[in-house]
Amino acid sequence: MAPDPKKPAKEKPLTAIVLLDSFDQRFAPILEKSYECFGFIPLANIPMINYTMNWLLRTEIESVMLVATGKSQKYAKLVENEWGSAFEEFSVVICDGSSSLGDCLREIHNRELITDNFLLISNPSSLTSSTLSQQIRDFRKRRVENADNVMTLIYGGCENREKSVIGVNSDGKLVLYPAATSSGLIKVDKVDFYQNAQIRRDVVNTGIALCSRLIVTQFNDNFDFSTMEDVIRELLSKDDILGLNIHVDVLPQNESAYMAKDYDTLLHLNTLLLERWFYPLTPERVEVSRFISVCPRNIYLEEEDFLNTSMSSRIVLSDASVNVSLGIHTKISKTARIYNSSIGSNSEIAENTTISNCIIGKNVKIGKNVEIFGGFIGDNSVILDNSKFPEIIIGNGVKMAEIGENLENSAICSWQVDEDEFEKIVAQKIGEELYLWQLRNGGGFWKISQGKIGINMSNVEENEEEDEDFEEGSDEDFDVDFDDGFDDSTRQFYDEVFESMKGMQSMANQQMNNLILEINSSKLACNVSVDDVAKNVFAAFLALPGMEDLKELLVLIKKWRPLFINYYKSSDSNATARKLEMERKCQIQMLMAIEEKFDKESANFGPKCAKIVHFLYNDADVLDEEAILEWAGSIDSGSKLRELMEPIVKWLQEDDEDEEEEED
């Protein structure tokens, strides 16, 4: 393209939108009453938002929009004071009451603050050593080539710790992305391989995305979207309808980029930073008003004042210590061994202690002979002598000795959680002023991929096997809102169908067509497969109020026959073999729904089973005998259901013989 003299020589530089908060509740133990703002969690003793601002300085970006929730307003002001002069434009957007990235972006959309392409940093801990100039250039080129190229995700070239994979095709377009519950596993079909999808697991998401305006409108259009991942999945699944493309740009090997999503990656990021992988983004060059001197073996000593640069002569760390960042006035014993950790100011570490991969806050006192192999210790805590901890998270003000309990997947705080505010966390008291916090759904605190959700090696399909996986109990009582193997979207679909049916039931004039329309639109919205539709429609039907009475049930089945015909039977007698096959599958799914209900409420439902099936076959003429026979054959032989179905099966088989005889 020859440069057009009339066009402006340089494109307007991108705006950056930086989020100051993280909406992930697993960080609650360390945020509440302590740092209060995710962006201010210290990495190498410096609040992480400073690193983000620092690397933004090096890109072409001149205008920054800092987005914070109402609670973090004063922190946003602090950032503005510090960094405002470094950029041409620096604005702070306060989104009161937002609880997710989606909310913030919707707010921005409402205020019409974004008019062009922008760089979105959805997590303040996204750090990179790159200036992103090449990536931004490529993004602009893609936008010009095709207006449907709406987003470019920046990925770092390093294997990620959750071992998740993505599928990318040869143009860099994202084609496969892990589903919500599957912790990094993706479903791949043959088609994907035909289209040259490359499965990559050597890349790590950095949380940096170059977006066009359309992304904001995406968030605006759908109020359910809360994270960037939702949008990505939506765009991928609606690829054929919306036709919007997401691209993936993997940084070259000489550039580093990383993001912290949970404690494990936070500590890894800390280590990477201390090892200077993000040079020129290094701890001592970030904040202008702090003076940090670097000693050999990557030991960062903070000085109080630039006039007293004698810290290096006062601190003597053991020879083995490496990658350490010390705040001011820390007292470390000579025999303590510290690896890959940051220690806040005024902390004390006594003899013979080994601290490895930790972020320790201010005023923390750690006793003798303690071994901590990974932990996040909040301010003002005390760790008593002779304790040994594998990965732990300790909130503020905790006085901690070694406790025998299994501390995996939990955090220890000295106060009870405010359950209204943090609905995803439950806490139990385990000692005096000690509370054990856990995620309600049993997910991993330390690592996202730990815990119950996620170690699901089977595909995310609606099988009954999944139910079993999730029965390893936690002590918590689950509400009706369990996540027991249903894909989020299937669950949603089920709920919607149930609502529709309920609504229909209460109406005087029950138009099946409307119901069918509603169910269909739910199906499209939730993107469920035909099998799922079949099963869930009937399951929802069975769950309707008033279904306990068999007579009512049968009456309603008759009344709603058109609905069932639509889904389970083809009216067209010239249906192709394939269509018949589909039907049979749907009918089997229907029967599966019955089976599931039986499994759940066998006492109540059992006797009705056979009658319902009979009715559906005979009177309502919704089921075909092949389907029934196939399904009956597949029921677990030990199950009571089989016994109940025996008579029907026999009757059907006799029926067949009769028919055959007749035909003869």
CA distances from 213 to 12, 105, 109, 143, 223 (A): 15, 11, 9, 11, 17
Show the binding pattern over residues 85-114: x = contacts another protein (CB under 8 A), - = does not.
Answer: xx---x------------------------
Which tokens sit at 226? 């809360």
Question: For residues 278 and 200, what is the distance between their CA atoms, to the nearest angstrom?
Answer: 23
Counting contacts by CB under 8 A, is residue 280 touching another protein?
Answer: yes
Counting contacts by CB under 8 A, is residue 502 touching another protein?
Answer: no
Counting contacts by CB under 8 A, is residue 260 touching another protein?
Answer: no
Task: Rank residues 162 and 483 by Cβ distance to another protein and give the closer one.
Answer: 162
Sign of the alpha-carbon torsion through 634, 539, 478, 454? positive
Cβ contact 338:331 at 8 Å? no
Total of chain residues touching another protein, rule CB under 8 A: 54
Task: Rank residues 294 and 403 by Cβ distance to another protein and give the closer one.
Answer: 294
Of positions 29, 156, 283, 344, contacts another protein by CB under 8 A: 156
Cβ contact 613:628 at 8 Å? yes
Counting contacts by CB under 8 A, is residue 277 touching another protein?
Answer: yes
Question: For residues 519 and 411, what is the distance between their CA atoms, to the nearest angstrom?
Answer: 43
Counting contacts by CB under 8 A, is residue 312 touching another protein?
Answer: yes
Q: Which stretch binds another protein (CB under 8 A): 319-327, 439-447, 456-464, 566-574?
A: 319-327
Length of the chain: 664
Counting contacts by CB under 8 A, is residue 320 touching another protein?
Answer: yes
Task: Rank residues 109 and 261 by Cβ distance to another protein and give the closer one.
Answer: 261
* 63 SS3 class: strand
Counting contacts by CB under 8 A, is residue 129 touching another protein?
Answer: yes
Counting contacts by CB under 8 A, is residue 630 touching another protein?
Answer: no
Which tokens sit at 128? 């990179």
Question: For residues 16 and 459, what is the distance between their CA atoms, to the nearest angstrom?
Answer: 38
Counting contacts by CB under 8 A, is residue 272 touching another protein?
Answer: yes
Counting contacts by CB under 8 A, is residue 340 touching another protein?
Answer: yes
Q: Which residues pair with 324 in a beta bridge?
A: 299, 341
Closest distance of CB 333 from another protein, Å: 16
Closest distance of CB 133 from another protein, Å: 10
Of positions 126, 218, 323, 387, contacts another protein by CB under 8 A: 323
Task: Rank residues 8 and 252 by Cβ distance to another protein and give the closer one.
Answer: 252
CA dihedral 290, 296, 299, 300 (to 10 degrees): 0
Closest CA to 222 of 453, 540, 492: 492
Task: Rank residues 131 and 346 by Cβ distance to another protein and give the closer one.
Answer: 131
Of positions 229, 275, 371, 408, contacts another protein by CB under 8 A: 275
Show the binding pattern over residues 50-89: x = contacts another protein (CB under 8 A), - = does not.
Answer: ----x--xx---------------------xx--xxx---
Question: For residues 51 and 47, what is the distance between their CA atoms, to the nearest angstrom?
Answer: 8
Of positions 180, 322, 382, 582, contacts another protein by CB under 8 A: 322
Closest distance of CB 87 from another protein, Å: 10
* 664 SS3 class: coil
Q: Which stretch binds another protein (CB under 8 A): 155-163, 208-216, 437-445, 518-526?
A: 155-163
Q: Which stretch binds another protein (CB under 8 A): 271-279, 411-419, 512-520, 630-638?
A: 271-279
Q: Which residues pair with 345 in a beta bridge?
A: none
Show the binding pattern over residues 281-310: x = contacts another protein (CB under 8 A), - = does not.
Answer: ----x--x--x-xxxxxx----x--xx-x-
Restricting to residues 371-410, which ones interact with another protein according to CB under 8 A?
none
Which tokens sit at 316? 């003597």
Closest distance of CB 196 from another protein, Å: 23
Chain-centroid distance, C-alpha 296: 39
Q: Which stretch binds another protein (CB under 8 A): 239-247, 320-328, 412-420, 493-501?
A: 320-328
Chain-centroid distance, C-alpha 542: 32
Task: Rank residues 85 and 571 by Cβ distance to another protein and give the closer one.
Answer: 85
Question: For residues 186 and 173, what is the distance between their CA atoms, to the nearest angstrom?
Answer: 16
Cβ contact 536:494 at 8 Å? yes
Pairing assessment for the beta strands 127-128 and 257-258 based on DSSP bridges: antiparallel
Question: For residues 256 and 327, what is the distance between their CA atoms, to the nearest angstrom?
Answer: 26
Task: Rank residues 251 and 332 by Cβ distance to another protein and give the closer one.
Answer: 251
Q: Which residue's entry shows tokens 């306060």?
A: 94
Counting contacts by CB under 8 A, is residue 144 touching another protein?
Answer: no
Task: Rank residues 322 and 575 by Cβ distance to another protein and give the closer one.
Answer: 322
Counting contacts by CB under 8 A, is residue 626 touching another protein?
Answer: no
Closest distance of CB 640 from another protein, Å: 53
Task: Rank residues 149 and 265 by Cβ distance to another protein and give the closer one.
Answer: 265
Q: Which stretch binds another protein (CB under 8 A): 32-40, 154-162, 387-395, 462-470?
A: 154-162
Counting contacts by CB under 8 A, is residue 184 touching another protein?
Answer: no
Which tokens sit at 127? 């750090």
- Ranges of beta strands (E only) in 563-641 are none
Show the binding pattern over residues 220-259: x = contacts another protein (CB under 8 A), - = does not.
Answer: -------------------------------x-xxxxx--
Cβ contact 241:146 at 8 Å? no
Q: Left (φ > 0), alpha (ψ -120 to 50) or beta: where does 429 sit?
A: beta
Question: For residues 448 and 454, what is the distance between their CA atoms, to the nearest angstrom?
Answer: 8
Say what angle helices 577-600 and 530-543 make with each other, to 10 degrees: 40
Counting contacts by CB under 8 A, is residue 314 touching another protein?
Answer: no
Task: Rank residues 291 and 631 by Cβ distance to another protein and give the closer one.
Answer: 291
Integer Rg of the chain from CA: 30
Which tokens sit at 576? 């192709």
Which tokens sit at 490? 């299937």
Show the binding pattern over residues 6-45: x = contacts another protein (CB under 8 A), - = does not.
Answer: ----------------------------------------
Q: What is the 3-state secondary structure (H, E, C) of 371-432?
A: EECCEEECCCCEECCCCEECCEEECCCCEECCCCCCCCCEEEECCCCCCCCCCCEEEEEEEC
Binding residues vs another protein (CB under 8 A): 54, 57-58, 80-81, 84-86, 90, 129, 131, 156-159, 161, 202, 251, 253-257, 268, 271-272, 275-280, 285, 288, 291, 293-298, 303, 306-307, 309, 312, 319-320, 322-323, 339-340, 356-357
